[in-house]
């Protein structure tokens, strides 16, 4: 019974051992209401009970050490057991006074401004370490060997810049070659365009010459002839009498409805001829085409033979008319055509019962009006300031001329009808 009570007493007092820097407490019971309440309250705030007891012992040990307690371990054990209640009460009182007092006590023990504290030592160690690192980094970045990372970075940058410069030069050379090639191509295209333009100009000039101009005049004459029952054909490529190809358009009066009553040959020129050459062309055309009247059609007034007049009858069987090179189917060509037609019809009056006097009068009036129209047209060319007035007079003269030509054609047609009826 006595042994059991001793064992229970020993178990209640527990065991406290100091092993190195550690303090081992086994089966120690502290009967203190406040200490128990502190532990329970701190558990509610998330603190483990062993941690609360550990903090209480550490804080109490430092307080004892600060007060000059330097007894041996056995004395400390005895004093701790003897003053456990006072310590718990002191701790409880400190806790009850509030967190500010606890903070103040902790700050006094661990404040960074106190010499010898852990924080101060750590701060000094960190300062020394930082200083050492700064010095090491400074030495490393100031080194001239491969240990300096700036040297490697500089080498990389220099190498990259050199590569970029080489690449730029290569691209510049490639671009220069491309520009040279494009320049040559542009020059070639420009030269080709210029050549095409010149060819087009030459072709256009060609269309104003030779057969193209002849074709336009031929088409205009065919239109005029078709409206009057005449037959017109381009014969420039066909050989006529004696094998000559003179004469470009041949008109057979009345041939569209019956036998021809006469032939008019048109010689078309887009170049200026001298008078002898013009007369040679017209005489040769009449001979080659067996025509009774020749009309020289030139491309513009500036190509009328020197010393000759447009719309003026020469030798009773020749006439010169200037037309627009691009649009030859104008009034001038129609006047020349109808005048030449009437002259041929008049020449046949002896063979028909025609009012000869009336025909001669109308022919004379037509010729006079033709001369007047020519004079007015000449005046239009030389006197631009009075162009409106002259054009009005010209139109009047042309209308009168057309009326006379219509009268001649009517008289000739009436005679022909009477002859066929008889």
Asked if residue 347 has pLDDT above 50, the reply is yes
Burial zone of 121 (CB within 10 Å; 0-12 exposed, 13-18 middle, 19+ buried): exposed
Q: pLDDT tens across 230-260, in order?
A: 999 999 888 888 888 899 999 999 988 888 8
Q: pLDDT tens across 255-292, in order?
A: 888 888 899 999 999 999 999 999 999 999 999 999 99
What does the alpha-carbon distance between residue 257 and residue 420 come to, in Å, rounded to a whole number? 14
Q: Which parts of 270-379 are beta strand (E)?
A: 293-299, 318-323
Query: How do beta strands 22-26 and 249-252 pair?
Result: unpaired
More confident position, 80 or 373: 373
CA distances from 221 to 254, 265, 331, 367 (A): 14, 11, 12, 21
Domain boundaries, the chain: 2-110, 143-207, 210-421
Asked if residue 296 has pLDDT above 70, the reply is yes
- Per cent of the chain over pLDDT 70 is 65
pLDDT of residue 395: 80
What does the alpha-carbon distance between residue 1 and residue 4 come to, in Å, rounded to a whole number? 5
Q: Which two tokens stand for residue 323?
A: 């037309």
CA distance from start to end of the chain: 191
Q: Region of 288 please: left (phi>0), alpha (psi -120 to 50) or beta.
A: alpha
Q: At a CB cut-off of 8 Å and minimum separation 6, what does 311 contact? A: 319, 320, 321, 332, 335, 336, 339, 370, 371, 373, 374, 377
pLDDT of residue 215: 92
Cα-to-chain-centroid distance, residue 111: 77
pLDDT of residue 119: 65
Cα-to-chain-centroid distance, residue 218: 49
What does the alpha-carbon distance between residue 316 and residue 117 come to, in Å, rounded to a whole number? 147
If one counts every other C-beta atom within 10 angstroms of the C-beta of residue 114, the result is 13
Q: Could you tell me the maximum CA-CA distance found in the chain, to the nearest angstrom?
A: 192
Asked if residue 308 has pLDDT above 50, the reply is yes
> Which uninterrupted H or E stretch holds 26?
strand 22-26
pLDDT of residue 323: 92
Q: Which SS3 state, helix, strand or coil, does residue 263 take?
A: strand
Q: Which long-range contacts link 254-261 to residues 24+ away (Cβ below 8 Å)?
A: 254/229, 254/230, 255/230, 255/231, 256/225, 256/226, 256/229, 256/230, 256/231, 257/229, 260/231, 261/344, 261/345, 261/348
Strands of the 318-323 sheet, one edge to the other:
231-234, 249-252, 263-269, 293-299, 318-323
Query: What value does the mean pLDDT take over residues 365-377?
Result: 65
Residue 78 has, within 13 A of its CA and on its CB side, a CA count of 4
Q: pLDDT tens across 31-49, in order?
A: 888 888 888 988 988 888 8
Weakest mean pLDDT among 19-23, 379-383, 415-419: 379-383
What does the alpha-carbon distance between residue 378 and residue 365 come to, in Å, rounded to a whole number? 20
What does the alpha-carbon distance between residue 224 and residue 232 come to, in Å, rounded to a whole number? 9
CA distances from 278 to 265, 294, 305, 337 (A): 14, 11, 7, 18
Given a contact cutoff of 8 angstroms between Cβ atoms, the answer to whether 247 and 289 are in contact is: yes
Asked if residue 135 has pLDDT above 50, the reply is yes
Q: pLDDT tens across 402-414, in order?
A: 888 888 778 877 7
Q: Which two tokens stand for residue 281?
A: 């062309």
Asked if residue 212 has pLDDT above 80, the reply is yes
Give me the residue label for tokens 């509610």. 44
If one counts every other C-beta atom within 10 angstroms of the C-beta of residue 113, the result is 8
Given a contact cutoff of 8 angstroms between Cβ atoms, the answer to whether 26 and 15 are in contact is: yes
């Amino acid at each position: 019974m006595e042994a059991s009570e001793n064992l229970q007493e020993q178990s209640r007092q527990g065991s406290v051992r100091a092993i190195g820097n550690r303090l081992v407490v086994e089966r120690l019971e502290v009967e203190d209401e406040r200490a128990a309440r502190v532990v329970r309250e701190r558990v509610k705030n998330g603190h483990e009970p062993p941690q609360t007891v550990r903090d209480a012992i550490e804080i109490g040990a430092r307080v004892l050490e600060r007060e000059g307690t330097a007894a041996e371990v056995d004395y400390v054990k005895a004093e701790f057991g003897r003053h456990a209640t006072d310590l718990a009460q002191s701790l409880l009182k400190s806790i009850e006074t509030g967190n500010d007092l606890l903070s103040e006590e902790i700050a006094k023990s661990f404040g960074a401004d106190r010499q010898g504290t852990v924080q101060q030592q750590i701060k000094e160690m960190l300062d020394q370490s930082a200083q050492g690192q700064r010095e090491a980094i400074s030495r490393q970045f100031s080194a001239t060997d491969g240990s300096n990372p700036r040297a490697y970075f500089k080498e990389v940058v220099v190498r990259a810049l050199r590569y970029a410069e080489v690449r730029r030069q290569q691209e510049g050379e490639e671009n220069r070659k491309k520009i040279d090639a494009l320049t040559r191509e542009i020059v070639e295209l420009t030269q080709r365009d210029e050549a095409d333009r010149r060819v087009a100009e030459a072709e256009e000039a060609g269309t104003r010459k030779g057969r193209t101009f002849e074709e336009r005049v031929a088409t205009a004459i065919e239109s005029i002839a078709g409206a009057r029952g005449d037959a017109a054909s381009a014969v420039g490529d066909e050989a006529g009498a004696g094998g000559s190809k003179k004469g470009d358009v041949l008109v057979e009066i009345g041939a569209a409805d019956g036998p021809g009553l006469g032939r008019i040959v048109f010689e078309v020129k887009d170049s200026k001829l001298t008078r002898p050459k013009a007369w040679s062309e017209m005489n040769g055309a009449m001979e080659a085409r067996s025509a009774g009247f020749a009309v020289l059609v030139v491309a513009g007034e500036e190509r009328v033979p020197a010393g000759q007049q447009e719309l003026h009858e020469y030798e009773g069987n020749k006439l010169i008319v200037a037309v627009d090179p691009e649009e030859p189917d104008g009034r001038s060509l129609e006047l020349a055509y109808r005048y030449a037609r009437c002259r041929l019809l008049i020449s046949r009056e002896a063979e028909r019962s025609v009012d000869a006097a009336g025909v001669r009068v109308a022919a004379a009036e037509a010729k006079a009006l033709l001369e007047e129209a020519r004079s007015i047209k000449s005046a239009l060319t030389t006197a631009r300031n009075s162009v409106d007035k002259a054009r009005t007079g010209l139109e009047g003269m042309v209308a009168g001329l057309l009326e006379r030509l219509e009268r001649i054609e009517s008289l000739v047609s009436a005679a022909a009808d009477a002859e066929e009826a008889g």
